[in-house]
Amino acid sequence: GAVVSQHPSWVICKSGTSVKIECRSLDFQATTMFWYRQFPKQSLMLMATSNEGSKATYEQGVEKDKFLINHASLTLSTLTVTSAHPEDSSFYICSALLPGQGRYEQYFGPGTRLTVT
């Protein structure tokens, strides 16, 4: 159980274009999902917390107008990188919070490797 998928697994786009990444919880409903970014040889950096039916909460320094997050259902959150630039090239990983009294386990999707040329 607790399977999270992400699509696409990798994407190459031209500078100035937008890219949408989907994150789905396959066998449970996730009220809360998280979006992370990871650069090579570095740890995970939380970008934003996505709550179903409400606006996402962004971490300090993350541009909300550039990284659009939508959590329209209990199994789907999307991250859109708008007007992508080469410095946005990174490994983007989502996670979903497994619901349950007193449980705070996050299960990660397989990640999306974004390359902006």
Least distance in Å: CB of 32 to another protein?
Answer: 6
Least distance in Å: CB of 112 to another protein?
Answer: 10
Contact footprint for another protein (CB under 8 A): 32, 34, 42-44, 46, 49, 57, 93, 97, 102, 104-111
Least distance in Å: CB of 87 to another protein?
Answer: 21
Tell me whether residue 17 or residue 74 sits nearer to another protein (CB atom): 74
**Edge-to-edge order in the sheet of strand 76-81:** 4-7, 19-25, 76-81, 67-73
Tell me whether residue 5 or residue 82 sits nearer to another protein (CB atom): 5
Instruction: Show Cβ contacts of residue 7 under 8 Å, excluding neighbours closer than 6 positions.
Output: 21, 22, 24, 112
Tell me whether residue 14 or residue 41 sits nearer to another protein (CB atom): 41
